[in-house]
Amino acid sequence: MPRGFTLIELIVVLAIVALGTALAALALPDSRGTALTRDAERLAALLESARAQSRTAGVPVRWRPTADGFAFDGLPPTAPKLPGRWLDAQTAVIGNAPLLLGPDPVIGAQAVMLHPAGASQPLLRVSTDGLRPFDVEQLQ
């Protein structure tokens, strides 16, 4: 006489499958949030680089978003060319206000908000108070 599975055996198997699925979901990175964070950290570094070049050359430099990325206006021709595209094509800027990066050692408090195109979350802010370097902050 063939014997089937008991209810206890089925529950144990389902618990193991559920635990494995939960662990796999936690182990997978959130690619949209990770790409946005990478772009925000890169932008903070680029803004600091442009700010340093502005102070060194004594010329005002302005950062502004564009339709397909961003641009640095006013960099001296001898300065290294800074990139003008996002690493992830889905990264977008909220608003279009430019950032003024120098040449004064102390600049006004400024911020730019980033989010993935077509989604409102996660929202990241790249900002400075004018004294400290640009930093990335996640908004709720």
* pLDDT attached to residue 32: 55
- One DSSP character per residue, 80-91 reads PPPP-S-SSTTE
**pLDDT higher than threshold 80 for residue 27:** no
Residue 127 C-beta-side C-alpha neighbours within 13 Å: 13
**pLDDT higher than threshold 60 for residue 111:** yes
* pLDDT attached to residue 57: 92
Average model confidence (pLDDT) across the chain: 89
Q: What is the mean pLDDT of residues 102-119?
A: 90
**pLDDT higher than threshold 70 for residue 117:** yes
Q: What is the mean pLDDT of residues 96-116?
A: 92
Q: What is the mean pLDDT of residues 106-119?
A: 90
Amino acid letter, 84: G
* pLDDT tens digits, one per residue of 40-81: 999 999 999 999 999 999 999 999 999 889 999 999 888 889
* pLDDT attached to residue 23: 85
* pLDDT attached to residue 122: 66
Q: What is the mean pLDDT of residues 90-97?
A: 89
Dihedral sign, Cα of residue 36, residue 41, residue 42, residue 46: positive
Contacts of 68 (CB under 8 A, 6+ apart): 85
Residue 41 near residue 49, CB atoms below 8 Å: no
* pLDDT attached to residue 30: 58
